[in-house]
């Protein structure tokens, strides 16, 4: 069944996600603040919209993929906000990674207008967005998730229902806090081995088959040249930026304070990525955290 989808936010993630919806046969009305981002979707068959409200007009489904909480609240809320121009009953998928509190606030405002909103942050990176193999971590009603499922399946492979509104964001933040910690830990272990005379590839192969193995040693090694086609082997270009990881670790810290939970390693990782960012590396892939531990001679 072909639907009309309003897609807003066509960056590293939103662009390829929108492309996959086009490939699945849907009609897309797209909007981004950056005109070039709109143009590459238009070349693939989408209709350009002049504003977010125009993208949402007449759409069966609205999807947003924006940087952070302030962009999402800024877009949806207020008398001029997008919620005021979306038709009652419309399904909205908010896929950005944002604070659970923000997701709940926007979702509550949507339900007051009879709009069905799900928080559906993703995992899987830009590679997963291009390949259509993202993991969607969904918060909201189970019935709305069933309505969204065919669209989610066009962009992703794994779909989880984490709980009510905001629960998708909580689960996503927990995952990314762990990811930030394990990437720093993996970098630390590799740098220790190399400082003691080991070859980084040999050590990585050993860890990948031993009890310290993890996603970084298996799929996303931070040491340049150990693995092909990962950001570390491309001068840390592309992938998931240090500043986005820093944002997620900040969200974890907020969630931790909110719930009076204890997250000492998450806090330490947040400080390491903040230091790394202030050293001018904010736009590099987050695996560049290795540079804190090792400077090539």
> Site mask, ligand NAD, residues 40-69, x = CB under 6 A?
------------x------------xxx--
Integer Cα distance of 109 and 76 in angstroms: 9
**CB of residue 62 vs ligand NAD: minimum separation in angstroms?**
12
Which one of 6, 7, 10, 148 is in contact with ligand NAD (CB under 6 A)?
A: 10
Question: CA-CA distance, 89 to 111, in Å (whole number)?
Answer: 9
Asked if 13 touches ligand NAD (CB under 6 A), the answer is yes
Q: In the bound complex, what is the minimum distance in angstroms from residue 279's beta carbon to ligand NAD? A: 21
The H-assigned helical ranges of the chain are 14-23, 35-43, 52-56, 69-76, 100-112, 125-131, 142-155, 167-195, 200-208, 215-219, 242-259, 264-276
- 29 near ligand NAD, rule: CB under 6 A: no
Binding mask 82-111 for ligand NAD (x = CB under 6 A): --------------xx--------------
Q: Is the dihedral of CA 52, 103, 98, 141 positive or negative?
A: negative
Distance of CA 119 to the CA centre of its chain: 12
Find out whether 30 and 18 touch, Cβ atoms under 8 Å.
yes
8 counts as binding ligand NAD under rule CB under 6 A: yes
CA distance readout (Å), 262 to 101, 254, 258, 265: 19, 11, 11, 9
- The tokens describing 277, both together, are 């960012």
Q: Give the interface segment with ligand NAD, choosing from 20-28, 120-128, 135-143, 153-161 (CB under 6 A).
A: 120-128
From 105, 172, 247, 291, the catalytic residue: 172
* Of 4-12, 163-171, 200-208, 265-273: span binding ligand NAD (CB under 6 A): 4-12
Is 291 in the active site? no
Q: Which residues bind ligand NAD (CB under 6 A)?
A: 8-14, 31-34, 37, 52, 65-67, 71, 75, 96-97, 122, 125-126, 240, 244
Please identify every residue annotated as catalytic.
172
């Amino acid at each position: 069944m072909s639907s009309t989808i309003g897609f807003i936010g066509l960056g590293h993630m939103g662009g390829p996600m929108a492309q996959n919806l086009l490939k699945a046969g849907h009609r897309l009305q797209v909007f981004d603040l950056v005109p070039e981002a709109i143009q590459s979707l238009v070349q693939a068959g989408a209709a350009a919209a002049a504003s977010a409200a125009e993208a949402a007009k007449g759409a069966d489904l609205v999807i947003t993929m924006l940087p952070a909480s302030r962009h999402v609240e800024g877009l949806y809320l207020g008398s001029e906000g997008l919620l005021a121009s979306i038709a009652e009953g419309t399904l909205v998928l908010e896929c950005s990674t944002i604070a659970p509190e923000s997701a709940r606030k926007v979702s509550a405002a949507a339900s007051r207008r009879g709009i069905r909103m799900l928080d559906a942050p993703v995992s899987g990176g830009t590679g997963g967005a291009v390949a259509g193999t993202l993991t969607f971590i969904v918060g909201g009603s189970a019935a709305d998730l069933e309505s969204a499922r065919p669209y989610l399946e066009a962009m992703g492979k794994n779909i989880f229902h984490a709980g009510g509104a905001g629960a998708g964001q909580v689960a996503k933040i927990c995952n990314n806090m762990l990811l930030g910690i394990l990437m720093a830990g993996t970098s630390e272990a590799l740098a220790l081995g190399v400082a003691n005379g080991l070859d980084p590839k040999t050590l990585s192969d050993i860890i990948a088959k031993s009890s310290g193995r993890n996603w970084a040693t298996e799929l996303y090694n931070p040491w340049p040249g150990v693995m092909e086609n990962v950001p570390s082997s491309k001068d840390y270009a592309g992938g998931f930026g240090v500043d986005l990881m820093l944002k997620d670790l900040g969200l974890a810290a907020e969630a931790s304070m909110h719930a009076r939970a204890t997250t000492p390693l998450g806090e330490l990782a947040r400080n390491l990525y903040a230091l790394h960012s202030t050293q001018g590396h904010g736009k590099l892939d987050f695996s560049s955290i290795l540079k804190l531990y090792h400077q090539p001679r």
